[in-house]
């Protein structure tokens, strides 16, 4: 009976350690995917120029969105969706947002602004909106972004 209890305890400890190690490896794997995408964004290489529009198209190496959501679920990063009802969507605001994200790339892991693939669009002037993924305990950077966008909108009017 004594050996049975010791074996049972050892089995429980082994399962716990195995799950913990697996979770750490899984987190590491998702960070690797996100970092691979971030590196690609900084240096996308050569794209294919479209004959019709002249736009350059790139092949994204990896879909990092599921990894972002996994990292949010593991509390490795945080996600916030910001909607600015008094700030109309404009190229100037997007450039301001992009510049801020670039300047804070050590804190901001990823972001999307007014995605073109929105399934449902409403009539009228679209407000600026963005989704931000950032490192925890850096909410002050998001507060700075909010102030910048709101002030930038006032300056472009």
Mean pLDDT score of the chain: 81
- Reduced to 3 DSSP states, what percent helix, strand and coil does the chain have, rounded to the nearest 5? 50, 20, 30
Rounded to whole angstroms, how far apart are CA atoms 8 and 117?
Answer: 53
pTM for the whole thing? 0.73
Rounded to whole angstroms, how far apart are CA atoms 27 and 67?
Answer: 9
Q: Can you give the pLDDT at residue 154?
A: 66
| Chain segment 82-134, per-residue pLDDT in tens | 999 999 988 899 899 999 999 999 999 999 887 665 677 777 888 899 999 99
Per-residue pLDDT for 136 more than 60?
yes
Rounded to whole angstroms, how far apart are CA atoms 31 and 39?
Answer: 12
Per-residue pLDDT for 77 more than 60?
yes
pLDDT bin (cut points 50, 70, 90) of residue 71 is: very high
Distances (CA, A) of 84 to 114, 128, 147: 11, 5, 11
- Average pLDDT estimate for 44-50: 73
pLDDT bin (cut points 50, 70, 90) of residue 42 is: confident
Distances (CA, A) of 32 to 36, 38, 66, 67: 6, 10, 12, 9
CATH class of 77-156: alpha beta
Q: Can you give the pLDDT at residue 22?
A: 45
Percent of the chain with pLDDT over 70: 76
Rounded to whole angstroms, how far apart are CA atoms 31 and 76?
Answer: 9
Q: What is the dihedral of CA 104, 144, 68, 116, to 10 degrees?
A: -100
Q: Can you give the pLDDT at residue 21?
A: 46
| Chain segment 26-41, per-residue pLDDT in tens | 899 999 999 898 888 8
């Amino acid at each position: 009976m004594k050996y049975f209890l010791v074996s049972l305890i050892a089995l429980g400890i082994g399962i716990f350690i195995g799950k913990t190690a697996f979770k750490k490896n899984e987190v590491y794997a998702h960070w690797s995917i996100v970092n691979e995408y971030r590196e690609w964004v900084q240096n996308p290489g050569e794209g294919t120029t479209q004959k019709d529009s002249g736009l350059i198209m790139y092949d994204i190496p990896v879909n990092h969105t599921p990894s972002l959501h996994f990292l949010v679920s593991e509390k490795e990063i945080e996600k916030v969706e910001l909607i600015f009802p008094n700030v109309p969507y404009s190229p100037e605001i997007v450039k301001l947002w992009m510049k801020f994200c670039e300047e804070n790339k050590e804190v901001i892991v990823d972001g999307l602004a007014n995605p073109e693939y929105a399934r449902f669009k409403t009539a009228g002037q679209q407000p600026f909106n963005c989704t931000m993924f950032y490192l925890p305990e850096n909410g002050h950077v998001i507060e700075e972004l909010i102030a910048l966008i709101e002030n930038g909108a006032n300056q472009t009017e």
